[in-house]
Amino acid sequence: MAYDLENRTFVFARDVRQFVKKVKLTVVNLDDIKQLLRSSGSVGANYIEANEATSQKDFYYRIKIARKEAKESTYWLRLLEGNIAPEYSGDIELFKKEGMELVKIFSSILKSSKEP
């Protein structure tokens, strides 16, 4: 069975969006949520761009950016974690876990690719 990383990154961004709709917006968490939305969507967008790369250098660069955005997403999730209702902590943990799994996947892709 083929592994669809493009869909997995899409589901990550989509699910993050569904989650933040439930979170009460406050002065404290507004910027964290905005940044989380940007970075979670950027993971998949950069992966798509990597798949459409016209050179090995461009592919490598886009995968590095996708990895960076996955790391950043977990950072914003960690910040948000302390400022939301406790009933959402399980959701945050799942998103952090998925973000770190994506980081590991992109790291593996980078290791197996030749750095230009």
pLDDT digits (tens, 9 = 90+) for 79-93: 999 888 888 889 999
User: Which of left, alpha, beta for 4 (phi over 0: left; psi -120 to 50: alpha)?
Assistant: beta
* pLDDT score at 82: 87
Q: Tell which residue, 75, 108, 81, 99, has the closest CA to residue 12.
A: 99
Spell out the residues 6+ positions from residue 55 whose beta carbon is closer than 8 angstroms to its own: 116
pTM of this prediction? 0.92
Q: Which domains does the chain have, with CATH numbers?
A: 5-112 (1.20.1440.60)
Work out the number of other CB atoms within 10 angstroms of the CB of residue 67.
22
Banded model confidence at residue 115, pLDDT cuts 50, 70, 90: confident
pLDDT digits (tens, 9 = 90+) for 23-71: 989 998 999 999 999 999 999 999 999 999 999 999 999 999 999 999 9
Evaluated on CA atoms 62, 66, 69, 75, the torsion sign reads negative
